[in-house]
Amino acid sequence: MSAGPRAVLLLAIFLLACSTLPEHARPQAGIMDPADYRATDVIRYRKLSRADFHASAPPQAVAAHATSFGAFTCANIVPDGPTRVRFDPGAQVNTWIARLEDTTFHSEMDRGCSWWNPAGIPVPSEYVLEHEQIHFALTELHARRLSTALLEVRLPTDSQPEAAAELQRRYDAMLRAAMDELVRESTAFDEDTSGRHEPARQARWLARVESELAKTEAHPGVR
């Protein structure tokens, strides 16, 4: 087995006090090397409370718009460990089935980065907290989906170097696709529920995401 690719998806998510999503308010994500990941106070996915927001101020990137936010949650998709490429013997001599091994992810909330607006906004605090919970749930759901998809990759090959390179390409593409889909769904959620009090709509999102989590396999650690 040879060492394979590693990456971490970082997603910033938050609630706004406006009915549209200007550029600074849209969910954003990026991919970085885990060696550069500098979370300060993380928890894995669970039910959130007001006390989980430890930052004294929002991140500098959105500080100018702080009065518009009910809360700012830093939710990340993080690998459980280093990914490796594994080669199992194929049906023919000098052939292999290449696959990614130990490719599992989980979501984290960085409480040291996550901020609650002490001044509040014209929306009940319970609604704000539920909103952040749903964003965290969406992040966990996409972490599980990504883990499952990567663990299912199988590549018949007669060249280990070529297979390793192809798995790297597929890994990178699947990370980007997961990132794009998470941003897309998080944005749809914000557009449906942010900036106004829409408890019925938000309750439907919560029920759907919790139902999908209940049906989706969690990957608690490296296999």
pLDDT at 23: 53
Helix, strand, or coil (residue 111): coil
Report pLDDT for 27: 67
Which one, of 184, 188, 183, lies nearest residue 205 by Cα? 188
Separation CA 192–CA 205 (nearest Å): 9
Using H for helix, E for strand and C for coil, what is the string for 13-30? Answer: EEEECCCCCCHHHCCEEE
Q: Is 47 exposed, middle or buried (0-12, 13-18, 19+ CB in 10 A)?
A: exposed
The Cα–Cα gap between 191 and 182 comes to: 14
What pLDDT was estimated at residue 59?
79
pLDDT for 90: 93
Q: What angle do CA 35, 40, 45 make, to 5 degrees?
A: 95
Collapsed DSSP state (helix, strand, coil) of residue 37: coil
Over residues 167-206, the pLDDT tens digits come to: 999 998 999 899 999 989 998 998 898 877 889 999 999 9
The stretches in the chain having pLDDT less than 50 are 1-7, 12-21, 221-223
Number of neighbours of residue 32 by Cβ within 10 angstroms? 13
Could you count the other beta carbons within 10 Å of the beta carbon of residue 188?
A: 13
